[in-house]
């Protein structure tokens, strides 16, 4: 049963890529002061077996306050990279002293796992658990 669950998770992570659908219109929505919006994304570099992560923090009027870009020597897949980006973004927001924060990402699988509306894929189970603890 565990092997079947792992296979299902593999198919979920590799067949349903973490990208916004073509019908969605990406538009930044401002927040009410004193809230901040943190957007993050990740990319997988297969040739170096590493992950690139980008995080940007905007204030309530949309002005960029601070950004982070880092590369991690981790051989992760797309779903795992997105989960790691969320983990890094939460740590970054905490490190710079933000408390009123909205996190925005484009991976429905990860959003469902974090909000407990979808079964957490086994490949990101530990990361999601860590994220919940940080929040």
In the chain, how many domains are there?
1
Q: What is the DSSP letter of 124?
A: G
Q: How far is the C-alpha of 55 from the C-alpha of 52, rounded, in Å?
A: 10
Residues 14-69: tens digit of each pLDDT: 544 455 545 556 676 678 889 999 999 999 998 999 999 999 999 998 899 999 99
Domain span holding position 116: 2-18+29-134
8: domain CATH number is: 3.30.420.10
Domain for residue 63, yes or no? yes
Q: Which residues contact 85 (CB under 8 A, 6 or more apart)?
A: 40, 41, 42, 51, 53, 54, 55, 105
Domain for residue 40, yes or no? yes
The pTM of this model reads 0.79
Q: What is the DSSP letter of 67?
A: E
102, 37 contact by CB (below 8 A): yes
């Amino acid at each position: 049963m565990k092997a079947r669950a792992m296979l299902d998770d593999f198919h979920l992570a590799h067949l349903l890529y973490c990208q916004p659908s073509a019908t969605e219109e990406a538009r930044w929505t401002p927040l009410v002061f004193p809230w901040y919006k943190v957007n993050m994304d990740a990319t997988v570099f297969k040739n170096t077996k590493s992950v690139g992560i980008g995080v940007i923090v905007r204030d309530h009027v949309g002005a960029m306050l601070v950004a982070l870009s880092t590369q991690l020597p981790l051989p992760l897949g797309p779903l795992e990279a997105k989960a790691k980006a969320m983990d890094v973004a939460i740590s970054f927001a905490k490190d710079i002293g933000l408390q009123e924060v909205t996190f925005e990402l484009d991976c429905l699988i990860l959003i469902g796992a974090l909000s407990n509306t979808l079964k957490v894929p086994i490949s990101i189970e530990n990361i999601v658990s860590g994220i919940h603890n940080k929040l």
